[in-house]
Amino acid sequence: MATTNYDIDYNDPKFQQVEADKQVAMNEMNNTYNNMISQSDKYYQDQINATKDYASTQQQLQQQNTDFAIEQVEQQKAQAEKDYTKEQSGAYVDWQKQSNQFGANAEVQASQGLNNTGYSESSQVSMYNTYQNRVATARESYNKAVLNYDNAIKDAQLQNNSKLAEIAFQALQTQLELSLQGFQYKNQLVLDQVAQKQQLENTYYSRYQDVLNQMNTENSMAEQVRQYNENLSLQKQQMQEEIRQYNQSYQLQVQQYNEGIRQFNVEIERLKKQDAIENEHKIKQLELQKASLEEQKRQANLDYQYKQQALAQSQKQWQAEYNLAKQKASSSGGSSGSSSTTSIKKNNTSNTTSVNKNNTSSGSVNTTTGSIKLSSGATAYANWTKAVNEAKLGPVSLETALKSGKVKQTTYNGKTYYYVSSGNSGGVKLGTSLGSLR
């Protein structure tokens, strides 16, 4: 079913409130995610900096350990040099002592008579060779030690460089892993922020549509109330017109009845004066016709009173239905975001039968009674209360009578008529001319 779009004031505070709430929610969401992203960046940068500091500390410790090891080797090297110098000096001192011509060896040789002999010279050569051997051995040992110490220093430096490179590589690898984790976490936060923004857009779009539907519902209810009031006003006008026409018709009928009774009285008096005995039969017929006319007048008066009661009851029922419709409209209009509407009752015209001129017998329209003769034989009245009386429904409204199905309505020459669906009840119809009774 198509929805009627009414003129909507999009500057209404309700729309502005939805937009304001949306902006507040958006700002809160953006602030939350921006803070999380900022904290994430800071956290991972702190981790990277900590890794760098740790690597720097490890490298410093490694360098200090290497420097200390080299320092120890240098100390050992220096000690080896001292030992070499000491051994060289000791060998020289020992050689000087042994080769001194005034020393103990010289005195021993002299006491044995070996001075200036071949033995003496051979001893000098042997002592000098011993001295030279000691010096050479000491130098060789020193050179080997220096070589070993230099190799140890070179090995320590190489191991230090390898360890430093390993520390730097591990630090760089950890930094890269932290950078990747930080990027992935930040990227997920950005995606979550976009998704949350879309969710808020959908939520407040739905709220916006709820407000729009509510305003459409309120406008729809207002339009239905307006139409109902307009329809009620038209019903009242129709009722007032029916009352006026009925009163006019009733007054005309009363005048006709009074005139008919007066004519009967005049005719009876004339016949009595002429010859009451001779005209006795005519007088009795006239008296009966007069009594019948008086009865019709009495029935017309009862119908008039019943009509007044029925109109009062209809007005009361219309007012009750109107109040109920307003109550339902107010209740439905106050429901937020509801797209459903409460239907306001209008005159039930589902039983209306469209009648054209061919549906009525020729010359069947009675302008005096305001009725027409249907081709089915039923009589349709311009005054709906006549059809209600004929259907014997009691004092009910027109809408109730139509809903009962016993009373139906039709149109002829643009005017509405009412009839009993079961057929004509028969009898003399009100408004029939006096001449037809004679």
Last residue of a domain, one of 213, 247, 264: 213
Residue indicated by tokens 């219309």? 318
| CA–CA distance, 419 with 432 (Å, rounded to integer) | 18
Position 31 scores a pLDDT of 94
Residue 67 lies in a domain: yes
Does the residue 61 lie in any domain? yes
Nearest to 139 by CA among 96, 63, 85, 206: 85
Contacts of 228 (CB under 8 A, 6+ apart): 322, 325, 344, 345, 346
* Residue where a domain stops, chosen among 169, 198, 213: 213
The answer to the question of residue 50 being in a domain is yes
DSSP 406: S
How are strands ordered across the β-sheet holding 379-381?
Answer: 353-354, 407-412, 415-420, 379-381, 371-373
Same domain, 42 and 186: yes
- What's the domain count of the chain? 2
Q: For residue 104, what pLDDT is reported?
A: 53
**Confidence label for 149 from pLDDT (cuts 50, 70 and 90):** confident
Q: What is the mean pLDDT of residues 101-117?
A: 53
Residue 7 within any structural domain of the chain: no
Whether 250 is covered by a domain: the verdict is: no
What's the rounded Cα separation, in Å, for the pair 362 and 257?
28
The confidence band for 91, taking pLDDT boundaries of 50, 70 and 90, is: confident
Which segments of 100-117 does DSSP mark as H helices, in order? 104-112
Percent of the chain with pLDDT over 90: 15
Contact 70, 153 (CB under 8 A): yes
pLDDT at site 369:
47
In a domain, 430, yes or no: yes
164-189 residue pLDDT tens:
899 889 988 998 898 898 889 889 98
Does residue 129 register a pLDDT over 50?
Answer: yes
Q: Can you tell me the distance from the alpha carbon of 218 to that of 329, in angstroms, rounded to the nearest whole number?
A: 9
pLDDT tens digits, 387-404? 877 887 765 667 777 888
Whether 47 and 191 map to the same domain: the answer is: yes
DSSP notation for 294-314: HHHHHHHHHHHHHHHHHHHHH
pLDDT band per the 50, 70, 90 thresholds, residue 111? low
Please state, as a whole number, how many other Cβ atoms lie within 10 Å of the Cβ of residue 153: 18
Distance between CA atoms of residues 220 and 396, nearest Å: 31
* pLDDT band at residue 3 using 50, 70 and 90 as cut-offs: low
pLDDT digits (tens, 9 = 90+) for 348-371: 333 333 333 333 333 344 434 467
pTM here is: 0.44
Residue 100 φ/ψ, nearest 5 degrees: -70, 125
For residue 5, the 8-state DSSP code is P
Last residue of a domain, one of 198, 213, 228: 213
Percent of the chain's residues with pLDDT above 70: 76
Q: Using the 8-state DSSP alphabet, how is residue 366 labeled?
A: B
Average pLDDT over residues 412-416: 77
Is the residue at 124 inside a domain? yes
User: Which range of residues forms the domain containing residue 140?
Assistant: 19-213
The arithmetic mean of pLDDT across residues 408-417, rounded, is 81
Q: What is the DSSP string of 220-257?
A: HHHHHHHHHHHHHHHHHHHHHHHHHHHHHHHHHHHHHH
CATH at residue 123: 1.10.287
Q: Does residue 411 form part of some domain?
A: yes
- DSSP three-state, residue 418: strand
